[in-house]
Structures are given as C-alpha cells and as structure tokens.
Amino acid sequence: MKLIKLLSRPLLMLSLVFLTGCVTQLAPKYDQALFEGITSTNVQVMQLFASVSSGTDRKTCSERANAYNSVIGAIDALALQSKARPMPDSSTIDKINDYLSSKGFGAIVGNEPPSTNALEEVSKNLTKMKQTDCKIGLQEPVVATFKNAVSISMDQAITYESFLNR
C-alpha cells in the first residue's frame, strides 16, 4: 500500500504535465513584432493618404512612387509574416467558423488568419491606387474611396492582431 501511495504522486504529476501539454490551438499566437509592424505601417499608409488627399496629377506620380513602393512593400512583408504562423487544424477552424457565424462575425477563410486577408486587401487597394494615380491622377473622391477601403482592412488587421494579445 505504501508503494502505491509513493508511486501515485509522481504518476499524478506526470499525468498533469502531459495533460497540460495537450492544449488545442484556436488561433495563431500573438506576435508583438507583427502587431507593432502593422500599427507603424498604418501610420505610413495614413501619411500617404494625407499627402494625396486633395488630389494628384499623373505627371507628378513619379514623385510619389517611392512612398507607394515603400508602403506596399511593408504591407506585403507583414502579410507574409502573418501567413507564416501556424494555424489550427481544419476541424478546429470549422468549429471556430460555426461559432463566429452564430455571433454574426465573418469566418476564417482558407486557413489564414483574418489579418493576412486584410493586409492582402490593403496591398491590392494601394497597388490599384498607385496605378490609377500614375495613369490618370487622383481626384479627391477617388482618394477618399481608396482610403475608406484601406482603413477598413487595416482596422480588421489591427483588431484581430490586438485580440490575439490576451
């Protein structure tokens, strides 16, 4: 009986260690560098929008090309960094999506974090804005339309990444 009592404590401790190692991952891990990168790049994006807010002439697009390229490159790098994190298995994602849908939220698409999709949308919109700027210039309402789309996507990326810091 004393032998069982002596062995039961180490077995209990070993079992607890084993069980605590079996945690299901429901979302990618919080990445502080990614979050800080998104928030600092957001400042650059908004500065770009401020610089073109009153419209542009296509003849001066070359003056803005470096700013566009810098911001688009930073966004693409952040999207890749976001995409590189491991995601939970598909059955777990299905359960998460069912829950999100029941609460009226959008689902995780294609086994990628929502921040990846949002950042890819930002890149697409900024690329289209640069092309439009260089081809015909930008009028104020067009700038506002691009800014609105980019702001929504940046908000989604920032919100999701800050949510992971729990």
Domain positions in the chain are: 31-164
| Contact predicate 75/126, CB 8 Å | yes
Question: Higher pLDDT residue, 84 or 10?
Answer: 84
Q: Over 60: is that where the pLDDT of 24 sits?
A: no
| Contact predicate 57/127, CB 8 Å | no
What is the signed CA dihedral for 24, 164, 122, 61, rounded to 10 degrees?
-140
pTM: 0.76
Mean pLDDT of 146-163: 92
**Max Cα distance, the chain (Å):** 91
Question: Among 8-22, 27-41, 117-131, which range has the highest average pLDDT?
Answer: 117-131
Confidence tier at 27 by pLDDT (50, 70, 90): low
Q: Which distant-in-sequence residues (6+ apart) come within 8 Å of 52 by Cβ? A: 64, 133, 138, 143
Q: Over 80: is that where the pLDDT of 103 sits?
A: no
